[in-house]
Each structure stands twice: as structure tokens, then as C-alpha cells.
Structure 1
Amino acid sequence: MPISIDQFEGDLGDFLEIQEGTQPHRILQFLAEHSDEAFTQTEIHEGTGIKRGSVGAVLSRLEDRSLVRHHGRYWAIAEDDRLASYAAQQRASSASTADDYYNEE
């Protein structure tokens, strides 16, 4: 997938290169929707449906890119400016899909 010249000439470290639908995207989306909580790998597996054995490897790669953080057994989305707007978008998106427009009294 090509990138713009601005991205090419800029700092690619600031460019969030996570393709929608991939395991890293699903984990980041889950953690962003729950940015005020931290989860074990098993809880991330249960929340995303990603195979338990794959969760650890994906989290390690995301940690290498400073996109997630962990303490002991628990993982959370990183405190990073690149992720602040992403987390806000995910929370807004999940809130809008939870609205019940058809069950009005």
C-alpha cells in the first residue's frame, strides 16, 4: 500500500501502520474501547476471539512499537499521543453502536 510523500519524508514512527481487521488492529481496538482498564492475555483472547496462543506474540510486537504497555500479567493500551485520538474514536464508535433506536417507549 503506497503512502503519501508527506508520510515518506516525515517520521514513520509517528504513523500508525495497523491494517483494519488484523489481529494487532483487533487487540488495539479492544484495548482502546477499554482504555481505562488493563487485561490479562486470557481476557484479551476472550474479548477479541483471537487464539490464545497468538495473543502473546501480537502483544509483544505491539509493545516493541510502544503501542501497548504491561505490568505483570496485565496489558493496556499505551499512553501515546498517536493512540489518544484512536482510543477516543473507538469509544465513540462503540457507544453509537450500543444506542437502542428501536426500543423507545
Structure 2
Amino acid sequence: MSIDRDTFENTSKEELAGLSIPDQVLGFLATNEDRAFKPREIASQIGVDEGAVSTALSRLKDRSLVEHKATYWAVTDDTERLEGYSGYERATALFNNQLGVENKETWREHAPDESHPSVEVALT
């Protein structure tokens, strides 16, 4: 997976070496916690082979860190479980360095008041 120059210059060798494929997958899903993805979409976004992503997802599911429905995968909403996983902390730190820390209140200000009808159908 490639990284931007700023991350290359400002991230320690240990942090870069320590971000495994499961950490990258979990970090991506956590960054996009309001969505679910197919393995090929995740692979495309993090620049890793789809087979490696599928293996990582299975391992993360065994640890109850992700949820799986049909062909879609999403990060768990169990924050205690996520916080107990050390790879989550490393991945979150790396994504925050790359993309900036998300301000959820600002995001909520721009979020729609109601869910799209397709979301309601998916939830029932």
C-alpha cells in the first residue's frame, strides 16, 4: 500500500512496520463506520490484494471486531471491544495523521435529518 509523502516523513519506522493488513482493514472500516463495504472495495481503497483483505476480515470477525452480512462488512459498534484491540489504536492514529481527526459534531451538523429510504429497507 502506498502512503503520502507527509505520512512517510512524519511517521516512525515502527509505526509504519506495525500496521498489518488487519489493522489497515479495521482502520479503514472504523474511519467509515457509517458504511459497509465489499472486500474488493476495501482492497481498492487501501491498496491491498482482495484475498488478503478477505483473510483479514475473517480474522477480525473471529475477534468480533467486524460484522458481516451477505457480501458486506462493517466495523463493530462495540466501542469497548475496538478500544481493547491494539491494532485499532495504531490504525486510528495513522488515519488521523493522514486525514485529520474527524469532528463528529461538525459531521452531524451536515448529516440529513432522516435516513434515505433505502437504508430503512436494509434495516428491516
Return the TM-score normalized by structure 2.
0.54
Structure 2: 5+ residue runs without aligned partners?
Answer: 1-16, 103-124
Q: Aligned to 2:100, which of 95, 102, 105?
A: 95
Structure holding more helix per residue: 2
- Alpha-carbon distance, 1:55 to partner: 1.1
- Alpha-carbon distance, 1:29 to partner: 0.6
- Alpha-carbon distance, 1:95 to partner: 3.2
Q: Which residue of 1 aligns with 2:23?
A: 25
Structure 1: 5+ residue runs without aligned partners?
Answer: 1-18, 98-105
Q: Which residue of 2 aligns with 1:71?
A: 69
Q: Aligned to 1:49, which of 47, 63, 67?
A: 47
Of all paired residues, the percent bearing the same amino acid is: 38
Q: Aligned to 1:39, which of 13, 25, 37?
A: 37
4+ runs of 1 displaced by more than 3 Å? 84-87, 89-92
* 3-state SS in 2 of match to 1:69: strand
- Alpha-carbon distance, 1:72 to partner: 0.3
* 3-state SS in 1 of match to 2:40: helix
Aligned residues: 78
- Alpha-carbon distance, 1:35 to partner: 0.3
* 3-state SS in 2 of match to 1:45: helix
Shift of the 72–33 alpha-carbon distance from structure 1 to 2, 3 Å rule, reads same
**Over aligned residue pairs, what C-alpha RMSD do you find?**
2.8
